[in-house]
A and B are shown apart, each in its own frame.
Chain A
Amino acid sequence: MADITKPQTKQEIETAEAKAVRSAKSESLYSIAWKQFRKHPLARLALTILAILYTVSAFADFIAPYPERYLNARATFQPPTKIQFRDADGRLTRPYVYKQTKSIDMETFQEVWTVDTSRQYPIKFFVRRDNVLDRYVPFPVNLIPVGIRNRLGIKPWASLHLFGVDDPSDQVKIYLWGSDDVGGDVFGKILFGGRISLTIGIIGSLVAIAIGMAMGGLAGFFGGWIDELIMRLVEALSAIPTIFLLLALSAIFYPLNWPPIYVFVAIVVSLALIGWGGIARSVRGLVLSLREQEFTFAAKALGANNWRVILRHLLPQTFSYVIVVMSLIIPGYILFESVLSFYGLGIQPPATSWGLMLNTAQSFAGVTGLTERWWIFIPGIFIFVSVLTWNLLGDGLRDAFDPRSRK
């Protein structure tokens, strides 16, 4: 499977020929796929956007001005803080914000936010806020479960934030995208929620693929009653509508009031349970056809046992399929998680996810319309963008691995 794109100039032809002479080894499937993928502008754009989203969520503690569990009863539904760049004379200065105060309009009894322009509060970058609430465990370390961290004695913490308001009285808050019903910072919550919303798809699909490949591989390779049993199970599972099964599964862990990390794992397991069937079916088909090919007989003739044949010869052949399938089921899982949390059956506060934030929007925004409190709809845009970009990435990968669509 050599690359068949034609070199353009004479020099290129010569170097290409020289290369061909030097390395008789053909290119691997993955390097061809990567080359193909790079020709797909939309998929590359999608990859970039996703990389940004994931990085920003990973460093959410640092970028968000307030911690995840931040509450502020005095600033519910505060409109986004406008950052001012020009002072009273219209000259450029360092960015600053004004204080926003809440009052009640005595005629309509509605909350009205007014901007108090009497004093400027400059924005400071790389601020340290050294109280217990503002401390956090920085990114790569927080992936290690707390129990293991404590046992190993790793207790790093940081208090550095990307930006904050310079206000000694701590009255002025900076809400880039407004605040929600409990005075939480929507901007920060979106970053923190992204940790859950974005990773749940990846981990869920990894677990689903692991189960699916194991089951499909077993069914396809051994056949007989194992095949019959597994395929019956897959058929029965696929007969139950996905979303109803997911909701019923969430009823198992929903009433237990688990800590967020347990809920996260429970959702991952639920997603994997509903998703492995389709993968198992395809992997079984792949294995059935691969089993009859010469290299499998060759491996067997060389004395390889069943497990060696499966692990070394059959499974690697299904990897390109798995990569494509994974990128195509992740967006679905992101949507499922958001729907679950939107119904109030998924992630529970004080943890947050984009679906849960829209649940807030559902309960509070329906009465006020689009222009007031518009900022609590922002999480929906993030769900949309992440699903869209994963779809595009999946399309790009599918084309890259598909020999028929090569240019």
Chain B
Amino acid sequence: MINYIVRRFINLIPTFILATLLAWIVVELAPGDFASQFAFDQVDPNKAERIRELLGLNLPWWKRYFFWLRNLVTDFNLGISMTTKNDVTILVIPRMLNSLYLALPALILVYIIAIPIGVYSALRQYSIGDRFLTVFSLIGLAIPNFFLALIVLAFSVQWFQAYGFFLIPTGGMTSTNFSELSFWGKTLDFGWHLIAPVLVVALSGLAGLTRIMRGQMLDVMGQDYIRTARAKGLPEKSVTYKHGLRNAILVIIATIGSTLPDLLLGAGTVEFVMRWPGITPLFIRSIFAADVYVVMALLTIAVVLLMIGNLISDLALALVDPRIRY
């Protein structure tokens, strides 16, 4: 097993380098750079050139990629943001945490709701409840996140206009008077702002996972060992929950590793609409401003998250499923 883990880890390195190289090329292909906006500076016509030299933007792209990679590997330095002149790490980490505050509760919510619903649907296949839930999950899959977020936002404003107070906030992470609140006040305020975006993010993940859980449970309940268990004369409850559910659920739990990055990045549009200061709004702002290192930093973090998440999922699957050999 350890051998396998080590091998998988070593395998990640070339993938990581190739992925960041590809990302770098894509970012590099964008016309113009950060200095282009100063190209027509009236006072100082050489400003753009000077900034280019200062930031090293006049070097060939592969050289800059090499420097960037070396800095990243040797002292975990992701470069300096050109717009805020801050260390990218300082800029990105709070954003990352904000996104996690959104994604983690959504993840927990998704798993808590999806598993029972999936099991119910599988055990009562083609019943009215199952059909209703199938339609519901199809609808959940088809509604764009940002559309739902927009509707929730508009609903919030509507509520305010009708009753004079906010049932749910109109976006943002904290209220304007946040700094004056006590500790518990702050927690409550934060939680209040969290409700709507978490629900919207969770709904999109929910629809997909319910379908997977249902399929998994149906698959397991059709296996020979379930028939054996029934033939032994075990009560149906024990067959379902001890032999069926435990086997079906293992696979779902093992996919947490790859679901978290999905939710984290899938929440992007919700962050955008609800003005949640997460990673996607920063990413888009940086793309508009050609702030290459911030874009690269976020891409790199996302790549690492996705790779680690998938690795954890694979390892967890290999651990719980004896049929998978490594």
Chain A residues in the interface with B (C-beta under 8 A): 232-233, 235-237, 239-241, 243-245, 247-252, 254-256, 331, 335, 338-339, 342-343, 345, 358, 361-362, 365-371, 377, 380, 383-385, 387-388, 391-392
Q: How large is the interface on B (under 10, 10 to 19, 20 to 34, 35 or more residues)?
A: 35 or more
**Beta-carbon contact of B26 and A252 below 8 Å:** yes
Give the Cβ gap from B266 to chain A, nearest Cβ, in Å. 8
A residues in contact with B147, CB < 8 Å: 358, 377, 380, 383-384
**Beta-carbon contact of A370 and B268 below 8 Å:** no
Q: Which 8 A-B pairs have the closest CB atoms?
A: A236-B18, A380-B147, A388-B142, A369-B158, A369-B157, A387-B142, A239-B19, A370-B154
Residue from the list B16, B31, B151, B161 in contact with A252, Cβ < 8 A = B31
B residues in contact with A248, CB < 8 Å: 23, 26-27, 30, 287, 295, 299
Residue B206, interface by CB 8 Å: no
Residue B269, interface by CB 8 Å: yes
Residue from the list B31, B265, B273 in contact with A255, Cβ < 8 A = B31
* Chain-A contact segment, one of B43-51, B61-69, B240-248, B300-308: B300-308
Residue from the list A235, A245, A383 in contact with B23, Cβ < 8 A = A245
Residue from the list A244, A252, A343 in contact with B298, Cβ < 8 A = A244
**Beta-carbon contact of A240 and B154 below 8 Å:** no
Residue B139, interface by CB 8 Å: yes
Give the distance in Å from the alpha carbon of A335 to the alpha carbon of B141 in the complex.
Answer: 11
Q: Which residue of A lies closest to B145 (CB)?
A: A339
**Beta-carbon contact of B142 and A384 below 8 Å:** yes
Cβ-Cβ contact count across A and B, 8 Å cutoff: 140
B residues in contact with A255, CB < 8 Å: 30-32
**Beta-carbon contact of B144 and A384 below 8 Å:** yes
**Beta-carbon contact of B268 and A387 below 8 Å:** no
Chain B residues in the interface with A (C-beta under 8 A): 14-16, 18-19, 21-23, 26-27, 29-32, 138-139, 141-144, 146-147, 150-151, 153-155, 157-158, 160-161, 170-171, 261, 265-266, 268-269, 272-273, 280, 283-284, 287, 290, 295, 298-299, 302-303, 306-307
Give the Cβ gap from A66 to chain B, nearest Cβ, in Å. 25
**Beta-carbon contact of A343 and B139 below 8 Å:** no
Residue from the list B14, B154, B261 in contact with A366, Cβ < 8 A = B154
A residues in contact with B151, CB < 8 Å: 370, 377, 380
Give the Cβ gap from A249 to chain B, nearest Cβ, in Å. 6
Give the Cβ gap from B20 to chain A, nearest Cβ, in Å. 9
Give the distance in Å from the alpha carbon of A387 to the alpha carbon of B147 in the complex.
Answer: 13
> Are A339 and B15 also in contact (CB < 8 A) when A255-B31, A345-B287 are?
no
Give the Cβ gap from A368 to chain B, nearest Cβ, in Å. 7
Known: A369-B154, A370-B158. 4 other contacts (CB 8 A): A243-B266, A255-B32, A377-B147, A380-B150
Give the distance in Å from the alpha carbon of A233 to the alpha carbon of B19 in the complex.
Answer: 8
B residues in contact with A239, CB < 8 Å: 15-16, 19, 303, 306-307
**Beta-carbon contact of A331 and B142 below 8 Å:** yes
Give the Cβ gap from A107 to chain B, nearest Cβ, in Å. 15
Give the Cβ gap from B292 to chain A, nearest Cβ, in Å. 10
B residues in contact with A391, CB < 8 Å: 138, 141-142
Residue from the list B16, B150, B272 in contact with A365, Cβ < 8 A = B150
A residues in contact with B32, CB < 8 Å: 255
Residue from the list A240, A383, A392 in contact with B22, Cβ < 8 A = A240
Give the distance in Å from the alpha carbon of A345 to the alpha carbon of B298 in the complex.
Answer: 18
B residues in contact with A385, CB < 8 Å: 142
Give the Cβ gap from A43 to chain B, nearest Cβ, in Å. 12
Q: Which residue of A lies closest to B161 (CB)?
A: A369
Residue from the list B268, B287, B295 in contact with A243, Cβ < 8 A = B268
Q: Which residue of B lies closest to A381 (CB)?
A: B147
